[in-house]
Amino acid sequence: MKQSYGYLAVRLCVFAIWGLLCFAPFLFQDVRALEVAARICIFIVLVASYDLLIGYTGIVSFAHTMFFGFGAYGAAILLKQMGPGWDAVALGALAGVVVSLIVATGVGLLSLRVKAIFFAMITLATASVALVLASQLSQFTGGEDGITYRAPDLFKPATKLLVDAEGKVVKIFGVSLNGKLAAYYFVFFSALALFWVMVRIVAAPLGTVLKAIRENEARAEAIGYRVVAYRTFVFCLSAAVASLAGTIYAVWLKYTGPDTALSFAIMIDILLMVVIGGMGTMWGAVVGAVLMVLAQYYLRDLMGVAADAVTGVPLLPELLNPDRWLLWLGIIFILLVYFFPRGIVGTVQTMGARQ
Amino acid sequence: MSEPSLVTRDLTIRFGGHVAVNQVSCAFHPGELTVIVGPNGAGKTTYFNLISGQLMPTSGSVSKGATDITRMSPSTRVHHGVGRAFQLTNLFPQLTVLENIRLAVQARSADSWRIFRPAASFTALTAKAEYYLEKTRLTKLAHQLASALPHGDQRKLEVALLMAMEPDIYMFDEPTAGMSLDHAPDVLELIAGIKADRSKTVLLVEHKMEVVRALADRIIVLHNGELLADGAPGTVMASDVVRDVYLGGATEETA
């Protein structure tokens, strides 16, 4: 059976996105663009790991940012306490993953037997506890202010990766080969590796079992799969990946606080991204994260340009006023969900069937 | 006669005040095909659910061979060789036919926990899945989604799933329900094939008398959750009490 044109188009598009992200520092040479590109990389991993839960296995969890936060705070606290160094990053990543695994196993074994809605509520409660703890334990976490720290020296903007004869940093296509570039590629390659691992997992026998549990839990049990064990396993796996994404983001931002790593606003972003991109596809995570992050960063600018272009026309400039960007973001979401009920990737994949 | 492969002892389940299965004791033997008959609401499917683990009994026990499986989860029972097909089509609708079968094959291998090699590269699993596709004549539909199959083929896939699990005990719950007459013989032929392997035990819930006559080595009759009759087809069908309950007086009983 040949894959549909839509399926091929999606794959082409995803490869193109990764290609653009790979050369982002050279293609989009400004600080904000690099910030956006790094955020996209992180959110692809975060959304893909959430898709393992909601899209593949049918588990609804609201604690995904909590695991992201464990990884971020793990690295942040250790970088602050031990000073900038790879040992702090590695230990922070490890600590984040270990804490995530312990919490995920506990929550999973205790509550993955109950109905989906109760499980969702329990994750919500657990995530709230984590958020409260982060703001209360301010001697470790910096409370609401968060923690500012330095990343390993390699990522300092002043670091010269390559120097020419005069000792100045080498530029390629006008881009300085400095620590900022190294930091971006650290984010990019870590994200790519984690995403690749997840794509492999869903293609492996385990992936089919997860889908079977989503499709028909009772029958999966009846043909011999211990559903609770598989669910707990995938919950732990996605928690560990989210935690690693948190560590990477913490190293990139050099700041970790409730707003960047733990807030429910991030959870809602993840949910929107996975729904817009398409659940149960992995590729949907890429498309969803790109669209959402771009919209969050550039919709206002775009509206400003549009509002200027229509000055003199009655009403339109008012509607397109950049201050109303959230209204338009909302309208775009509603339209996307209306026209792509299975997400962009999910819907496009089924189009253009070939014989 | 050989040692029984499956035994239920005083198996009972109550739902509130209603006793759905009441003290059913019965032994099943390898090489024997037992048809379970009884009017609607007699407790046939509930009895099946107790054996395959979807329900836990209020009292009584179930053993597979020498192992007591009464409190085991359905998935653990599968690993002890108890396999079950369902009355209402119960598949993985958004997976392909091949994936459906491969899941059943994979369930009893350790490969389900393999997380890093593409499923398609497990050639032994795929080969086995294809063998069962071939056997159930579903090969041509291998890459269709299960939800896209016509009803008759879904029923065949249901049977194929059970066969791919390679159990010792095969439990069929009305395998030909809702099937057209030209499809039903395919399924019956498959069941006859399993029966021909003398090491397997087959339990079959069935209403159609021609099916019962063609396949049964033994018939048990359930009525209001109780075991009413047990014996060779000729004897059971001829007994007055069965005629009364099953063929005659059933309608007012179930009201």
- Could you report the per-residue pLDDT of A177-200, keeping only the tens digit for each? 888 899 999 999 999 999 999 999
Q: What percentage of chain B's residues is helix, strand, coil (to nearest 5)?
A: 40, 25, 35
Compare CB distances from B104 to A200, A205, A223 and report the shortest one's residue. Answer: A223
| A290-331 tens-digit pLDDT | 999 999 888 888 888 888 888 878 788 878 888 888 888 889
pLDDT beyond 60 at A213: yes
pLDDT beyond 60 at A141: yes
pLDDT beyond 70 at A262: yes
Positive or negative: CA dihedral A216, A220, A122, A138: negative
pLDDT beyond 70 at A160: yes
Would you place residue A28 in the very low, low, confident or very high pLDDT band (cuts 50, 70, 90)? confident
| B4-33 tens-digit pLDDT | 899 999 999 999 888 999 999 999 999 899
List B residues 88-117 in contact with A (Cβ-Cβ < 8 A): 90-95, 99, 102-104, 106-108, 111-117
Would you place residue A102 in the very low, low, confident or very high pLDDT band (cuts 50, 70, 90)? very high
Sheet with strand B201-205: strands edge to edge: B82-84, B169-173, B201-205, B33-37, B218-223, B226-231
pLDDT of residue B121: 75
In CATH, the architecture of B6-93+167-254 is: 3-Layer(aba) Sandwich (3.40)
Calculate how close chain B gets to A217, using CA atoms only, in Å: 9
Please tell me if residue A225 touches chain B, with a CB cutoff of 8 Å. yes
Which range among A110-124, A255-269, B226-240 has the greatest average pLDDT? A255-269
Residues of B in contact with A225 (CB under 8 A): 75, 103, 107, 112
Residue A123 tokens read as: 């994750």
| DSSP conformation letters of B196-220 | HSTT-EEEEE---HHHHHHH-SEEE
**A160: phi then psi, degrees, rounded to nearest 5:** -105, 120
Would you place residue B255 in the very low, low, confident or very high pLDDT band (cuts 50, 70, 90)? very low
pLDDT beyond 90 at A342: no
How far CA A79 is from CA of A41, A90, A142, A322, in Å, comes to: 22, 10, 13, 38
Say yes or no for a CB contact (<8 Å) between A204 and B115: yes
Closest CA to A28 of A298, A328, A277, A242: A298
Compare CB distances from A215 to B54, B75, B92 and report the shortest one's residue. Answer: B92
Compare CB distances from B107 to A201, A203, A225 and report the shortest one's residue. Answer: A225
pLDDT of residue A26: 87
pLDDT of residue A158: 78
Whole-angstrom distance, CA of residue B59 vs CA of residue B48 = 15
**Would you say B116 and A200 are in contact if contact means Cβ atoms under 8 Å apart?**
yes
Strand, coil or helix: B181: coil
pLDDT beyond 90 at A73: yes
| A230-257 tens-digit pLDDT | 999 999 999 999 999 999 999 999 999 9
pLDDT of residue B254: 39
Would you place residue A53 in the very low, low, confident or very high pLDDT band (cuts 50, 70, 90)? very high
Q: How many CB atoms lie within 10 A of CB A330?
A: 10
pLDDT of residue A88: 92
* CATH topology classification for A12-349: ABC transporter involved in vitamin B12 uptake, BtuC (1.10.3470)
| B90-112 tens-digit pLDDT | 899 989 999 999 999 998 776 66
Residue A124 tokens read as: 């919500």
Residue A250 CB burial class (10 angstroms; 0-12, 13-18, ≥19)? buried
- What percent of chain B is modeled with pLDDT above 90? 38
Mean pLDDT value across chain B:
86
Say yes or no for a CB contact (<8 Å) between A224 and B108: yes
Please tell me if residue A205 touches chain B, with a CB cutoff of 8 Å. yes
pLDDT of residue A2: 62
| B124-145 tens-digit pLDDT | 888 889 999 998 888 888 888 9
Whole-angstrom distance, CA of residue A187 vs CA of residue A45 = 11
pLDDT beyond 70 at B1: no
Residue B154 tokens read as: 């879904």
pLDDT of residue B179: 79
pLDDT beyond 50 at B233: yes
Say yes or no for a CB contact (<8 Å) between A218 and B90: yes
How far CA B155 is from CA of A41, B148, B170, B178, in Å, comes to: 45, 13, 15, 9
AA letter at A237: L
Say yes or no for a CB contact (<8 Å) between A224 and B165: yes
What is the residue extent of each domain of chain B?
A: 6-93+167-254
Calculate how close chain B gets to A252, using CA atoms only, in Å: 29
Whole-angstrom distance, CA of residue A317 vs CA of residue A311 = 6
pLDDT beyond 60 at B251: no
Nearest CA in chain B to A229: B113
Say how many Å lie between the first and final Cα of chain A, rounded: 8
Say how many Å lie between the first and final Cα of chain B, rounded: 40
How many residue contacts between A and B have a Cβ separation below 8 Å? 98
pLDDT beyond 90 at A167: no
pLDDT beyond 70 at A99: yes
The secondary structure of B103-167, three-state, reads HHHHHCCHHHHCCCCCHHHCHHHHHHHHHHHHHCCCHHHCCCEHHHCCHHHHHHHHHHHHHHCCC
Nearest CA in chain A to B106: A205
Compare CB distances from A221 to B74, B115, B161 and report the shortest one's residue. Answer: B74
pLDDT of residue A355: 55
Please tell me if residue B129 touches chain A, with a CB cutoff of 8 Å. no
Q: How many CB atoms lie within 10 A of CB A354?
A: 11
Would you place residue B46 in the very low, low, confident or very high pLDDT band (cuts 50, 70, 90)? very high
Taking the C-alpha atoms of A321, A326, A331 and A332 in order, what is their torsion angle to the nearest 10 degrees? 100
| DSSP conformation letters of A292-304 | HHHHHHHHHHHHH
pLDDT beyond 80 at B246: no
Look up the ipTM and state it: 0.85
Compare CB distances from B95 to A204, A212, A218 and report the shortest one's residue. Answer: A212
Say yes or no for a CB contact (<8 Å) between B119 and A203: yes
Residue A324 CB burial class (10 angstroms; 0-12, 13-18, ≥19)? middle
